[in-house]
Structure 1
């Protein structure tokens, strides 16, 4: 890699697709994204999990950096997220019985299937039949002499391994779909169970066990093995084993696969499985490093449920103490985080209440200003009282809410809205120097509504503002009216 960074043009199509998906989710720069994806074997799910959960130190990279620079800098994100695990690793003794849990390089599940032309397939049909016959014979020979397949697997090239994976006749799927297919086939074969197999790939199961501080129980089945069916029914699905696995105090999760699938076959080779049926317990070991996962138990062969449980219990008890310390530390951090979130939430609610009160206060102040401006505008169009020479003028006595009594004469053709306007604008009409006031325009967007009504006391009659008649027709030559405020309760009573 040059000093200017990796060349994207040198990546394959699959790597470019993984890089595009990763940068879309995380928003990380391509140079840093390529480095993290290469450390994750170009598995997008693992790289995204490392980006958000923090990535631990790489022993190879640390040794290489120690040669180049005497004091390498520690990543800030790792220091923040894994400080408590590093402290636990520093003061905890290492376990000599645990071996590192391997990761595998999964194959993409959407690889196109090559189909030769019909004429070519017809020509090579005899060779294909002969190959299948020889392969079936070799499998039978391998069953009779089980050490030969292991010897060939050790010495064969990766190309032969890939050929072995593709001869099972099963369609290659993505890791998640492969796990879902195994869970479905397992339930169809042995009935519903309470093991709860994870429907994720093996690498994602490792990440989940590391993130949640749980014990990962890996179950590998070989359907062609004689003891598989009896072991699953009598041991794995026994009440003793299922109760132990589902016990919350044991903190266990289960991932399973059949060696007929490529991923489970790779897992079996990585875990150095030499005998079926096979199960392995994997757990995070903070006494080794902040991201280390180790195989703490391997259980192979047809054993009884009691022996199976005892092997798991003994292995878990040896690594339980450091995990409990990390869980306690995480619980304290979670409690502190929850307390901060509650405080922040209360602060946000208080700010929201203050903002709402300020908004209501501004609206009330604007409403008061608009109402005052409307009164000044409406008072400009209120007609003066008719003179004494008008014989049919209507004389109205109005008692206001303040207790003041207003006596005013109106022309007989005046409508009821004019009477309401006089009451509403009474404070403006009684101001001095009305002749010197400048013209006022109606406020924009203000919909005025009268907040009172006029009623006669005895007998009680309500005179609505929108009455389609004049004051003379509605009230007569004179009368006494009271001003009543309009509120919700009075409206409901009416």
Structure 2
């Protein structure tokens, strides 16, 4: 399976799960992650370790290289030239040698100091004095025989902790870097070296992520050449200008080997002599995840030779890094474009959903409004029907007009809204509601319909939508005041029917 024609559908379910876990941790493209997972037998933990620490040499390739041959490999020659400190490289098409540069994370050590109770401190004071005398004599022995501490781990198979070797208090990587920078400035004065303010692992990851060169400088204060190297080489203007040049993309990390982290880095980089400097960079020609040591400056070197080695190593690997940067930029541009497209699609989808929601709400509101209008219209129709039914029913119970032989009557002239004038007599004991009922049911009387079968509508209360008014002087004879027609109008009356606008009253 080639990286260019990578198809995730070709992987089975377990391989796709391993690929997803690996890419979520390393943020590496799937096309570059699949070959590393295949070399790791699809073991995610091994692949992640290879990504951060670099891949170990292939045992098959090493076995083939160990076979006798009449012509030694050119890589061995170049490696020997580098170790001897030569600044010239043989003109050969073979790329310069590279050693894997592992990612070192210092082992965490407790920062908390246990303070025993006062009584125990007094009881154990003699043992404490004997222990300090023993450790002091042991430190003197290590000082007189400095080679012995390095032989002891090889014989016993264990490494000596940093605190037991130097007595320096172990700190976290960032505090260790700050302590080194402070001690360096106290020893050599104010300088312009851009030391990285963090641990080696942080600088390592930054150089790998941003495709920059990681320059590691390891110093031993007990070495005789350290002060000369720092003052004449490391702090020289030529070296300062080259390290600070942004075009060289150098990250400078330095450490004191008396500290635990720098000591572990020196062992990992196979440091055999101080002062020591190494240039580490991502080497895509070896692997998509490897970090390699491309230059080593061992011992005291003049500033010109120091810069020459750095310049040669950086020049040999800049082209490959530029290609990787271009590829990453294209991939990042593609990823950004995809994210922008997805974001635009999500925004468009959200707008469509919002418009659909608003449309549904508008349609529902319109439907409710139509239902309310229809309900009101139906209610009005039913109200009108019940009003007509009530009028026919009420017309049955209206008292008949008194005859000519009845003297105690009230003669009322009523002008209707249609302009018709009606004259009628009412008995002396007729209520005002009788007069209003006569006016309201006059159309039923006038039509001459058979009103005997009319029934009173259930659940209906009739309201008269008019009032009776005398023209001059204007007096309103409302029904709510009650009384009889004779008592309100006397022997006769001239009235006008004025309709009451219910809509205006409601407003």
Q: So what's the TM-score if we normalise by structure 2?
A: 0.54
Cα deviations across residues 47-96 of structure 1 (Å, max 9, x unaligned)? 5xx7xx799765558889xxxxxxxxxxxxxxxxxxxxxxxxxxx97534
TM-superposed deviation, 1:275:
3.2
**What's 2:358 paired with?**
360
Tell me the equivalent position of 1:492: none
Q: Residues 376, 233 of structure 1: CA spacing in aligned structure 2 closer, same or farther, 3 A cutoff?
A: farther
**Partner residue of 2:347?**
349
Query: Residues 168, 415 of structure 1: CA spacing in aligned structure 2 closer, same or farther, 3 A cutoff?
Result: farther
State the partner residue of 1:107: 107
Hey, what does 1:133 align to over in structure 2?
136
Distance in 2 (CA, whole Å) between partners of 1:369 and 1:352 is: 25
Aligned residues: 333
Trace 1:234-245 onto structure 2 (pairs within 5 A).
Answer: 235-245=233-243
CA RMSD of aligned residues (A): 4.4
Structure 2 gaps, min length 5: 1-20, 26-39, 63-91, 388-415, 418-438, 440-465, 470-497
Question: Which whole-Å deviations, capped at 9, do the CAs of 1:128-161 have from their partners, x for residues lacking one?
Answer: 343243244335435xxx6x358636745344x3
1:164-183 to 2 correspondences below 5 Å: 165-183=163-181
Secondary structure in structure 1 of the residue aligned to 2:251: strand
Cα distance in structure 1, aligned partners of 2:311 and 2:153 = 32
Please report how far the alpha carbon of residue 330 of structure 1 lies from its aligned counterpart in structure 2 after TM superposition.
1.6
Give the Cα–Cα distance (whole angstroms) in 2 for the partners of residues 273 and 170 of structure 1.
21
After superposing the two structures, state which structure 1 stretch, 131-140 or 365-374, moved more: 131-140
Other-structure match for 1:327: 325
Q: Distance in 2 between matches of 1:392 and 1:238?
A: 118
Within 5 Å, give how 1:194-233 maps onto structure 2.
195-200=194-199, 202-229=200-227, 231-232=229-230
Closer, same or farther: CA 61–103 of 1 in aligned 2, 3 Å? farther
- The alpha-carbon distance between structure 1 residues 373 and 197, as it changes in their structure 2 partners (threshold 3 A), is same
Q: How does 1:30-429 map to 2 (within 5 A)?
A: 39=46, 59=57, 95-104=95-104, 106-110=106-110, 118=121, 121-142=124-145, 148=147, 152=151, 155-159=154-158, 161-163=159-161, 165-183=163-181, 186=184, 190-191=189-190, 193=192, 195-200=194-199, 202-229=200-227, 231-232=229-230, 235-378=233-376, 388=417, 390-391=466-467, 411=500, 418-419=506-507
Taking the aligned partners of 2:260 and 2:52, their CA distance within structure 1 comes to 29
Mark the CA change 1:295 to 1:124 in structure 2 (over 3 Å): closer, same or farther. same
Q: Equivalents in 2 of 1:56, 1:136: separation in Å?
A: 37
- The CA distance in 2 between the partners of 1:127 and 1:54, in whole Å, is 45
The whole-number CA distance in structure 2 between the counterparts of 1:55 and 1:233 is: 33
Q: CA deviation at 1:264?
A: 0.7
Q: Which has the larger radius of gyration?
A: 2
Q: Tell me the distance in 2 between the aligned counterparts of 1:334 and 1:301.
A: 42
Corresponding residue SS for 2:160: helix
Compared CA separation, residues 137 and 375, structure 1 to 2 (3 A) = same
Q: Distance in 1 between matches of 2:234 and 2:499?
A: 101
Distance in structure 1 (CA, Å) of the matches to 2:57 and 2:375: 83
Write the distance in 1 (CA, Å) between the matches of 2:260 and 2:109.
10
Q: Compute the TM-score of the two structures, normalised by the length of structure 1.
A: 0.55
